[in-house]
A and B are shown apart, each in its own frame.
Chain A
């Protein structure tokens, strides 16, 4: 496996004064499912379009499989793209859409037909050959777009929020299918999405982007458990932020004073220096426990009152006000639902190992 299959070297893309992509460097492995995740306007789509060749970088170089493609037009690049709106040619039928990109590959008629047949069965579109775009459902269009790109056997498949237009049920289905497909054909996928759930459930690695820069690049579980900064912690999943400041260091632990709660000794994974005043403690809703009685075997167990609940089926969210803190915390529980545990007094318990220390910037 080539560790540097795609090399993005100090790429910047400016639109006038706007730095859509600001000095980004990434290495993507061969056969990897790589996601670019971020809110709209973060530069993820611009980066993808730079890879496809629809935009040229203001600065920096782009290499795919060792070849410098920085100045190559889209038709000369070993990449193919699945567009957000699928961009199925409306004037030709499904099979002609799929054959559209084959003409330039110089294949024989037999090879051509074989590839089309293979890819049709891969995306399960047999029997739809003669249909036109307006006779297909959203999911089917997405499959045509996928087939049309895959039939050319690109080195890299670029996907621009391909599941965004589908309804939830179909999206979940397509997530699994896309993942399986990618594993079975082994093509490198670069996947752009604003949906953090989608990114962390499908990808090998995720680059979280904001304001043209990469905030964190790691495996999904790392992103969730060990976010590098407040943006990542906030963007990936739900979390609660409590303000505080650090005191003395003890090796890889540090004393932290959490506002109105007192002093605690917690992990200092990001190596924050002692006596920093702008500190935020991130605690995930599911890491906390809600109960009627005080939990003496937990590190912290605070009296609180439930303000509101929302029921999700597999879990229930409780919005609680901890006594002494002027802030509503979100606690989720699979154990209790909002019928057994409605408004009223309760205790919220936290383990010190679940407190992630982040610096405000």
Chain B
């Protein structure tokens, strides 16, 4: 009997693969799938009062979500801020990744480690340092006042969407750097030379060869930044003020002080659906777009 099982195990690659996957699958099931399914389930229920929930199936909460301008506008704002953050991060990380991939000859790893140096401090501490830089009496404002360029502190740079964008872009830059670097570093340099040889200037070569070939990294970076920033809660809370408030704030409220779990679940599910569909559209569109460029 034991020999039979042994033989079966040796023969089947599937069994071997699943054996390896089991711990991860158990973990995934407990802390990811179950809460997610519960959230989806709760989105179809109704909160009657503080302690009671009506467990009969209804889609009314979804209708309610879209009838509340506050919620839809926060959803759009979340998506908008994330888009800007993604764009800014790509714009700053791409040249750095390009430089390390093509111009740094020795100690590339050292460069990459140096780039991730700010991340050796905790995320919260970094947000606090941004408060110090951006605040009313912060480095920027007092600096500009000392120089006599402004007389009143600039208010739009703190407790605003701008502050959220700056803080998030800085926080995620290194995460964008790695996929970009990997995809750029993989590009065979003779392809770039071939493009130059075939009559293209440096800029044309970038748009026709380098950028399309780095797309896997670009898409990777977009996903890595966009997905978590849409739902970011801490940063808007700390530096965003009312102006920088995102949907995550409302979700937290519904589950917390408002105590309307189904409404919170609906918001979460809708945000999830929005992120998923936007990510798919972006990946698809970027691919299509660059096919034409090349």
Known: A75-B201, A96-B294. A89 touches B191 (CB 8 A): yes
Task: Report Cα–Cα, A214/B215, bound state, in Å.
Answer: 44
Is the interface on chain B under 10, 10 to 19, 20 to 34, or 35 or more residues? 10 to 19
Give the residues in chain A near B270, CB-CB below 8 Å: none
Residues 104-163 of A contacting B (Cβ, < 8 Å) = 104-105, 148-149, 152
Residues 72-109 of A contacting B (Cβ, < 8 Å) = 73-75, 79-81, 83-85, 87, 89-92, 96, 100-101, 103-105
Contact of A91 among B194, B198, B201, B294 (CB under 8 A): B294
What 0/1 readout, one digit per residue, does chain A (43-87) give for beta carbons within 8 Å of chain B? 000000000111000000000000000000111000111011101
Task: Please state if B200 and A75 are interface contacts (CB–CB under 8 Å).
Answer: yes
What 0/1 readout, one digit per residue, does chain B (235-247) give for beta carbons within 8 Å of chain A? 0000000000000
Give the residues in chain B near A80, CB-CB below 8 Å: 197-198
Give the residues in chain B near A83, CB-CB below 8 Å: 190, 193-194
What 0/1 readout, one digit per residue, does chain A (268-305) give for beta carbons within 8 Å of chain B? 00000000000000000000000000000000000000
Give the residues in chain B near A54, CB-CB below 8 Å: 193, 196-197
Task: Report Cα–Cα, A81/B199, bound state, in Å.
Answer: 11
Give the residues in chain A near B213, CB-CB below 8 Å: 90-91
- Looking at the assembled complex, report how far the CB atom of A80 sits from the nearest CB atom of chain B, in whole angstroms: 6
Give the residues in chain B near A104, CB-CB below 8 Å: 199-200
Task: Please state if A75 and B199 are interface contacts (CB–CB under 8 Å).
Answer: yes
Task: Please state if B191 and A74 are interface contacts (CB–CB under 8 Å).
Answer: no
Task: Report Cα–Cα, A205/B153, bound state, in Å.
Answer: 77
- Looking at the assembled complex, report how far the CB atom of A81 sits from the nearest CB atom of chain B, in whole angstroms: 5
Contact of B198 among A73, A84, A85, A148 (CB under 8 A): A148
Q: Is B52 an interface residue (CB 8 A)?
A: no
Known: A87-B191, A91-B294, A96-B294. A81 touches B197 (CB 8 A): yes
Task: Please state if B197 and A52 are interface contacts (CB–CB under 8 Å).
Answer: yes
Give the residues in chain B near A103, CB-CB below 8 Å: 199
Give the residues in chain A near B290, CB-CB below 8 Å: 91
Q: Is B188 an interface residue (CB 8 A)?
A: yes
Task: Please state if A81 and B294 are interface contacts (CB–CB under 8 Å).
Answer: no
A-B contact number at CB 8 A: 66
Contact of B212 among A73, A75, A91 (CB under 8 A): A91
- Looking at the assembled complex, report how far the CB atom of A46 sits from the nearest CB atom of chain B, in whole angstroms: 14
Contact of B193 among A74, A92, A105 (CB under 8 A): A74
Contact of A74 among B188, B197, B209 (CB under 8 A): B197
Give the residues in chain A near B200, CB-CB below 8 Å: 75, 101, 104
- Looking at the assembled complex, report how far the CB atom of B194 sits from the nearest CB atom of chain A, in whole angstroms: 4
Task: Report Cα–Cα, A205/B114, bound state, in Å.
Answer: 53
Give the residues in chain A near B190, CB-CB below 8 Å: 83-85, 87
- Looking at the assembled complex, report how far the CB atom of B198 sits from the nearest CB atom of chain A, in whole angstroms: 3
Task: Report Cα–Cα, A87/B193, bound state, in Å.
Answer: 9
Residues 137-168 of B contacting A (Cβ, < 8 Å) = none
Q: Is B195 an interface residue (CB 8 A)?
A: yes
Task: Please state if B194 and A75 are interface contacts (CB–CB under 8 Å).
Answer: no
Of A75, A96, A101, A149, most B-chain CB atoms within 10 Å: A75
Contact of A85 among B188, B195, B196, B212 (CB under 8 A): B188
Of B199, B200, B291, most A-chain CB atoms within 10 Å: B199
Task: Report Cα–Cα, A148/B197, bound state, in Å.
Answer: 11
- Looking at the assembled complex, report how far the CB atom of A96 sits from the nearest CB atom of chain B, in whole angstroms: 7
Task: Please state if B196 and A73 are interface contacts (CB–CB under 8 Å).
Answer: yes
Task: Report Cα–Cα, A353/B198, bound state, in Å.
Answer: 51
Task: Report Cα–Cα, A100/B194, bound state, in Å.
Answer: 10
What 0/1 readout, one digit per residue, does chain A (232-262) give for beta carbons within 8 Å of chain B? 0000000000000000000000000000000
Contact of A101 among B188, B199, B201 (CB under 8 A): B199
Task: Please state if B191 and A75 are interface contacts (CB–CB under 8 Å).
Answer: no
Task: Report Cα–Cα, A156/B188, bound state, in Å.
Answer: 24
Task: Report Cα–Cα, A92/B198, bound state, in Å.
Answer: 15
Task: Please state if A105 and B294 are interface contacts (CB–CB under 8 Å).
Answer: no
Give the residues in chain B near A74, CB-CB below 8 Å: 193, 196-197
10 shortest A-B CB distances, which residue pairs? A101-B198, A104-B199, A87-B194, A87-B190, A74-B196, A75-B199, A81-B197, A74-B197, A92-B294, A83-B190
Chain B interface residues (CB < 8 Å from chain A): 188, 190-191, 193-201, 208-209, 212-213, 290-291, 294
